[in-house]
Structure 1
């Protein structure tokens, strides 16, 4: 296989690109900054992220994907084109591109991703479901007649799937993921401390002191800055890990309930396999403290985080191309 074929993880919060033979070559926020007066795209990725919340009213830094789905097709096309051209601009031969998409993606959204890749110069495009890519990128042999459960907790959704014989047996998604945890922290601080904090501050709080289960994190405090809703002035407050746990736990239980629902519908033989092998968590959202412990406690099944939770989807998407070249049978959603 030529080393310019590309695996593209199109995420709600980040874009990760894997080039066969090179590994991960791009890891940037999936943010685009647009001048609403002229329609001009000003920045994409890290530069656009730096503008978020710090621009005049007519310049908006936004994510074209929300809650795991494409909310702005035109902007998504711009983002995909930008990154594929950034990676493949030095190649003489046009690359093959595999784009990882959420299980719940629609035909219209799929076509937008494909059109963007074609516009960027790809010669052939495949769409791969996130759970398949996550399993491959984590080293799971999905070709066997053995049930494996993957929970990919991304920025916008958690994709939950049971995989066997190169295909998804059962799958669903739930809007319980990274950005929603951030929103819960923002709402808690707003309602209980009368302070408004930004998305980036909430994400930092989540990563440093956020937990979805008591006892997995020592009592920790963190200073955050925001705007007082009572005075309208800047203010600094101290937030503790324990005061956030109940809110985050309540929200995480919606994911646990969905996982239980999938297990209840899974054929008995495959459930037995899952009980032996455990439930694998992937995605950046899986790193919130206490999540594997909570799922294990509520389901009775061992739960663990992939060794490469953030990169495994992009790696698996690239591997899907590699395996396809070797004649390995993988069930893709669509082949354009």
Structure 2
């Protein structure tokens, strides 16, 4: 009996699991609900069930994200989360014979790498390999990572934004920005608190970003009704927020995406720069869905920018492709 080989996109916001021969079988929020009982921590719920509890739990139950800024913030809870997701994806009896590939941010330290490996091994798998997220995203987006040609990818995830130029199975120049989906949600929450004296939760901030967030002016500006707590009276109140306001809130973060992209382009060898001018930059991750971001980056950098066919699944598709063809892609694993 052989093990079920797995590929995991271990994201700050969501974790996706690809099983060899079956494709993506699990896509759940990277959230764990725990109960503090003295010095002991007991896991109550993981994934979708735990996310429903965010901001709604009584004092003794805490809903947390064990991954922060793309790295493990709580080792024990992350191990429990990985184990739970693997068991949901495959039969528990397969675990001891399973091979696992996990994606990690490009500028992860060796200590953080070891933490991810140990969390996965602690979950019960036999063998663990790591792959850098921008490399996985490039494979998932169909870029020729093994060729002697420059490919450029921008992966805006939940905790980190990875910008990388790839050639011949390696990352030539890259930069990891700790500004990504979660930070954008928080920026919107803070903006609405300051501008309208209304307190909203991070989930509402994320909804606003997804529905009306934009990087440049829209043909028809959008609006959304938002409910929150009035900070002056203390009672619930609803207001209308426009895409113009959200764009104002996001402008500093968007500027950081642009300067990070320019910085990586400046560090790129001229031969590879020529390839990138010809073939453009690929944008993926949840942040790729911000309206007009591809257009703005293209205008600022003077290079065509394309959104990947399936931006949210680019990393897991890439990790899955590496898993299915591990001998071909062994050179790109860490």
Q: Which band: TM-score by shorter chain?
A: over 0.9
Q: How does 1:259-298 map to 2 (within 5 A)?
A: 259-298=261-300
Residues in 2 aligned to 1:221 and 1:64: alpha-carbon distance in whole angstroms: 33
After superposition, what is the alpha-carbon deviation per residue over 1:78-135, rounded to whole angstroms, capped at 9, x for unaligned?
A: 1111112222226547221000011122223222222222233312110000011001
After superposition, what is the alpha-carbon deviation per residue over 1:18-70, rounded to whole angstroms, capped at 9, x for unaligned?
A: 11211110000000001123411100101100111111112110101112222
TM-score computed with the length of structure 1 as normaliser:
0.94
In the alignment, is residue 182 of structure 1 matched against residue 185 of structure 2? yes
After TM superposition, give the deviation of residue 312 of structure 1 in Å.
Answer: 1.5
- Residue of structure 1 equivalent to 2:14: 14
After TM superposition, give the deviation of residue 323 of structure 1 in Å.
Answer: 2.5
- Relative distance call for 1:116 and 1:89 in structure 2 (3 A) is farther
Q: Which runs of 5+ in 1 are unaligned?
A: none
- Residue of structure 1 equivalent to 2:230: 228
Comparing 186-195 with 16-25, greater Cα deviation is found at 16-25
- Residue of structure 2 equivalent to 1:194: 197
In the alignment, is residue 209 of structure 1 matched against residue 222 of structure 2? no
In the alignment, is residue 124 of structure 1 matched against residue 120 of structure 2? no
- Relative distance call for 1:78 and 1:3 in structure 2 (3 A) is closer
Q: Is the 8 A contact 1:166 1:329 kept in 2?
A: no
> Aligned-pair RMSD on alpha carbons?
1.5
Residues in 2 aligned to 1:109 and 1:44: alpha-carbon distance in whole angstroms: 22
Q: Which runs of 5+ in 2 are unaligned?
A: none
- Residue of structure 2 equivalent to 1:330: 331
After TM superposition, give the deviation of residue 250 of structure 1 in Å.
Answer: 2.4
In the alignment, is residue 152 of structure 1 matched against residue 155 of structure 2? yes
Q: Is the 8 A contact 1:94 1:122 kept in 2?
A: yes
Which SS does the other structure have where 1:163 is aligned?
strand
Which SS does the other structure have where 2:154 is aligned?
strand
Which SS does the other structure have where 1:281 is aligned?
strand
> Which of the numbers 159, 165, 168 marks the counterpart of 1:165?
168
Residues in 1 aligned to 2:286 and 2:226: alpha-carbon distance in whole angstroms: 22
TM-score computed with the length of structure 2 as normaliser:
0.95
Residues in 1 aligned to 2:23 and 2:86: alpha-carbon distance in whole angstroms: 15
